[in-house]
Chain A
Amino acid sequence: MASKENVIGSAGMYGVFERKGGSAPTATHYCPGCGHGILHKIIADTMADLDIQDRSVVMSPVGCSVFTYYYIDCGHVQTAHGRAPAVATGISRAEDDAILISYQGDGDLASIGLNETVQAANRGEKMAVFFINNTVYGMTGGQMAPTTLVGEVTATTPTGRDPRDSGYPIHICELLDTLRAPVYIERVSLSNINQIKKARRAVRRALEIQRDKKGYAFVEFLSPCPTILRMDARRIELFINEEMEREFPLKRFRDRSSEVVPIERRESDFSKGSLDGIFGLIGEEEVEVIPDPAFVAKGVKIAGFGGQGVLSMGLALAQAAYRSGRFVSWYPDYGPEQRGGTSNCSVVISGESIGSPVVDHPDVLVAFNRPSLEKFASDVRKGGLILYDGLAGSFNPPEGVAAVPVPATEIALSRGVEQAANTAMFGALMELGNLGLPREAFGGAFKRTFAKKPKLIPLNLEILEEGARSVR
C-alpha cells in the first residue's frame, strides 16, 4: 500500500526514489513535519525552473539529509561532517561551470564545520549554502547544537541549555555578515505556508546567483524537527515563530547580486610546451653525468649566520660540480636556531651515485663565523681543510687539519657589497679546496646562481678571483 502513497511530483525530483528503494519508492525517509522534505522540494523545483539541474551538484552532509541524493535529480557528492564547503570548493575550482549547493544542518555547519563555513564564505566561493537550523542534532540523537536556545532541553542539556556551561546560541548569518565577500545572506523560516513562500524566493535568489556565477550565497532556514523536539505540528510552528525567531530574527542581511560581476576561471593548460616554458627548459643545455669510480668523493660543509649566503654558496658549488659532470647533492640543515641564527649546508661531490647527502665529517669546512668554526671544526676529517672568515679571529685547528683564514668579508666590504663575502670565500674554495673541479666551473656557476641578476656576474667574477688570490 505504501508504494501507492500519493506524492505530489516535482520537476526537479526523481519520480521514484530508486536509491532509497524498499517498499515505498515514492515516500521520503523523513519524519512527518520535518523541514528537510519541504526544502528539498523547493530546491528541486527551483533548479528545474532555472534549468540548472545538469550543472548542479549537491553536497550531501552527515545527518538526516545525507540522503538528499535519493530525491533531487542532479549530481551528488556525499561529504564528511562539517567539510561540505571545502568539498564544494574543490569541485567549484575544478569545474568552473558547476553549481555547488552545500546543504548543511546546524551541528554540521556551525559546530564541527564552522571553520570551513567561514572560510568558504570569506573566499567568496561560488556556492549556495543552505543552512537548516532546527536547534538540535537530529539523526545523531537529539544532542545540543550550537543553535540550541538558552533553556532548551536536549539529550545533552537535560535540564536545559545553561549559558554558564554551554554558552549562547551562535548566530551564523550575523557572523557571516561581518565578511566582505558574500554576495547574499538571508534568514528565512519554514514554519508555515507564508514563510515557505518567502523561503522559496530566497532559494531562488541564491540559485540565480549561482547560475550567473556571481559568488557566495547563504540562506539560513529556521526549520521544524518535531520528532526530536517532541512537539506536535501546532507547537513546533509556535516554537519557530516565537522562540526561535526571537533569537534568530528573520532578515535579509544583504543582497549584492546586482552589483557584482561573474567570477570566471581559466581553463587548465596541459601542453608540454607551456610546462617546459615555466620551468625554464627551453634552450636548456644537457649535462652528462658520467660515473667515475676513481674519483674520491668529497664532502663540503658550509656554515655561518643566516644572511651570510651560506646556502647559496652551497648551491653555487653544487652547480659547479654538476656542470662538471659529477654526481652531486646539496642539503640544508635548519637547526632549531634557523630563524635568525646559524645555518649550514652539506654538498657531496662524487664520481658515483651518492648515499647520504648529509656531510657529518667534511673534507672541507667553510665557516663564516666563530660559532660555526667551533661547532664543526672537530668533525673535519684528518687531512681536511678549514676555510674561515678572517673576522672570526685566530684559530688553532685540530691535529692533521689545515685552517686558512680568508679575508672574505673584508674583500666584500672593500668592493662595497657586503653580501658578496660568500663569493670571496667561493674563490678561496676554488683555490685551495682540492675538489677535483675545473677552475672555470666556479665562475661558470654564477650563470645559474645569478640568473635573475646577470648584471652582478662581472663584479662577482672579480671578487671570486680576489678571494682566490688572497689565499694563494
Chain B
Amino acid sequence: MPAQLVEGNTAVIVGAMYAGCDCFFGYPITPASEILHEASRHFPKVGRKFVQAESEEAAINMAYGAAAAGHRVLAASSGPGMSLKQEGISYIAGAELPCVIVDIARAGPGLGNIGPEQSDYNQAVKGGGHGCYRNIVLAPNSVQEMCDFTIKAFDLAFKYRNPAVILADGVLGHMVEPLNFPQTAVEPVIDPTWAVCGNRETRGNLVTSIDLDFKELEAHNLNLQAKYDRIRENEVDYEEYRIDDAEIVLVSYGISSRIAKSAVDAARREGIRAGLFRPVTLFPFPAEELKALAERGSGFISVEMSDGQMREDIRLATGCRDVGLVSRYGGNLIGRDEIMEKMREVA
C-alpha cells in the first residue's frame, strides 16, 4: 500500500479527492488554511472546482449551492470561521443536503489563538446554528483518520442527506504522520430525484428550507428527528482500550484520546485499573455503550480540551453526576501527568 508522510490537513484533501469530492470553497484561517492551499493546488489539476470565497458565509453558501446540484462538496474552517458558517449549515441541514465540513478547532473564545482546543464540541455536536438539527460528527485522532474519516463522512452525508462534520484540532491539522493512501477512488453519481443541476431531468426539483405552514414544518422537523434517530441507531462508532476490567474509564476523543491512551498504560504500570473509551462519532454519541460501563460500576473521567462540554454528554448517557474532568485551555495540550494525577486522586 503506497504511503507517505503527510500533514493532517493535506490528508483531508487526499480523502476528499478519492471520495469523489469535486467542489471546494474556502476562506483562509489558521490552523485550517493548508486544506485550502492543498485544494487550490490539486483540485484544478483534475478539473475539480476550487474557489477562494470572499468570506466564510460565502464559502458555506457556495457549498450549499454545489451540494444542491448533487455534487460532493467539502468546506473547511476553524472556530471563528465555523461560527460564521453556522447560518449556512442550518440551511444545509434544513434543506437536507449532503455536505462535509471540517473544523480544525483552535483556542477561543473570540479571536483566542491558533493553538489547539476542543471547545467547538457543542457547536458541532448540538447543531450550532438556528433550529433543531444535528450534524453527523466524526472525531479523528491521527493523520490516517483525517483521510479515512473524510471519506466516511462523504458516505454518511450522502446516505442521510445531512451535513457531516470532521471535528479535529490544530494539532491534528498540522502534525505529520504516515498516511496509507486510499485504494479506491469514488466516481460519484448525481441523484436526480432531488438535485437541482440545471438540466431537463432535474427541472422540476426544488431545494428549500422554508415552509410557512406550521403543520408542514412540524412534520418536516419530526422527519428530521426520525432521521437523527436512525443515525443514532446505526452509526455509533467508538474504540475501547483495556476496558475489560477497568475501574476508571477515561473518555476522550481526538488528539486528547491519544494522550489518554498513554496515560492508561502508565496507570496500569502503577496498578491502577484504567481503560480508555474513545467516541469516534460524537453525534451519534455512544451513549448506550457508556451506560453499560456505568452499570458495570466503572467511574468516568472526561479528558477534553474544553470546559466539560463532552462531560455533559457522558453524564446524560451514564446517569452519573460524578464524572471527573481533566482539561486544558488556551492552546495547551493535556499532559499525560495531569491525567495520571486525576486518576490517582480517584483510584
Contacts and interface: CB of A to CB of B under 8 A. Distances in A.
B323 interface: no
Interface stretch (A243-251, A264-272, A392-400): A264-272
A278 interface: yes
Interface stretch (A80-88, A152-160, A163-171, A364-372): A80-88
A53 interface: yes
A33 interface: no
Q: Chain B: interface secondary structure?
A: mixed
Interface stretch (B159-167, B258-266, B282-290): B258-266
Given A86-B53, A268-B48, A278-B42, A77 B208 contact: yes
Given A60-B208, A330-B176, A116 B58 contact: yes
A434 interface: no
27 contacts: A53-B203, A69-B208, A75-B204, A75-B206, A78-B209, A80-B91, A86-B62, A88-B65, A90-B23, A90-B62, A93-B49, A97-B199, A99-B198, A268-B49, A272-B185, A279-B181, A280-B4, A284-B2, A284-B4, A287-B178, A319-B5, A322-B178, A330-B175, A355-B258, A356-B255, A356-B333, A356-B335
Interface in B200-232: 200, 202-210
Interface string B64-86: 11111101010000000000000
Interface residues of A, number: 74
Contacts of B113: 336
Contacts of B63: 90
B34 to A, nearest CB: 11
Nearest to B3: A287
A119 interface: yes
A99 B198 CA distance: 7
Nearest to B6: A279
Contacts of B187: 270-271
B20 interface: yes
B198 A83 contact: no
Contact of B65 (A56, A87, A284, A357): A87
Interface string B305-341: 0000000000000000000000000000101100000
A99 B69 CA distance: 12
Interface of B: 1-5, 14, 17-18, 20, 22-23, 25, 42, 45-49, 51, 53-55, 57-59, 61-69, 71, 73, 87-88, 91, 95, 113-114, 171, 174-178, 181, 184-188, 196-200, 202-210, 255, 258-259, 261-262, 333, 335-336
Contact of B51 (A57, A93, A270): A93
A98 B69 contact: yes
Given A83-B58, A279-B14, A356-B333, A54 B200 contact: yes
A102 B178 CA distance: 45
Contact of A270 (B25, B95, B186, B207): B186
B312 to A, nearest CB: 25
Given A90-B73, A331-B176, A266 B47 contact: yes
Contacts of A89: 25, 51, 58, 62, 65
Contacts of A80: 61, 87-88, 91
Which of B46, B261, B333 is packed against the most chain A CB atoms within 10 Å? Answer: B46
Given A90-B23, A91-B68, A318-B176, 11 more contacts: A73-B203, A78-B209, A80-B91, A90-B61, A268-B47, A275-B17, A286-B2, A315-B5, A329-B175, A354-B258, A448-B5
Nearest to A334: B114
A193 B65 CA distance: 36
A141 B18 CA distance: 49
Nearest to A69: B206
Interface in A310-342: 315, 318-319, 322, 328-332, 334, 336
A133 to B, nearest CB: 22
Interface of A: 19, 53-57, 60, 66, 69, 73-80, 83, 86-95, 97-100, 115-116, 119, 123, 265-272, 274-276, 278-281, 284, 286-287, 289, 315, 318-319, 322, 328-332, 334, 336, 353-358, 360, 448
Contacts of A115: 54-55, 58
B197 A98 contact: yes
Contact of B61 (A76, A83, A97): A83
Nearest to B14: A279
Given A91-B65, A355-B262, A270 B176 contact: no
B210 A78 contact: yes
Nearest to A285: B2
A290 B255 CA distance: 23
A268 B61 CA distance: 21
Contacts of A269: 46-48
Contact of B88 (A60, A83, A353): A83
B207 A116 contact: no
- 9 interchain residue pairs of minimum CB distance: A90-B65, A98-B198, A355-B262, A266-B47, A272-B185, A90-B62, A86-B61, A78-B208, A87-B65
Given A94-B69, A318-B176, A76 B196 contact: yes
A83 B57 contact: yes
A88 B61 CA distance: 9
A331 B171 contact: yes
B259 A86 contact: no
A451 to B, nearest CB: 11
Contact of A355 (B176, B181, B199, B259): B259
Contacts of A116: 54-55, 57-58, 61
A331 to B, nearest CB: 4
B62 A74 contact: no
Contacts of A287: 3, 178
Given A93-B23, A270-B186, A334-B114, A55 B199 contact: yes
Given A77-B207, A78-B208, A315-B5, A275 B18 contact: yes
B199 A278 contact: no
Nearest to A54: B200
Nearest to B1: A286
A56 B198 contact: yes
B68 A331 contact: no
Contacts of B69: 90-91, 94-95, 98
Contacts of B188: 270
A265 B46 contact: no
Contacts of A19: 206
A57 B14 CA distance: 32
B333 A328 contact: no
A269 B42 CA distance: 12
Contact of B333 (A53, A123, A315, A358): A358
Nearest to B186: A270
Contact of B259 (A78, A356, A448): A356
A90 B4 contact: no
B128 to A, nearest CB: 15
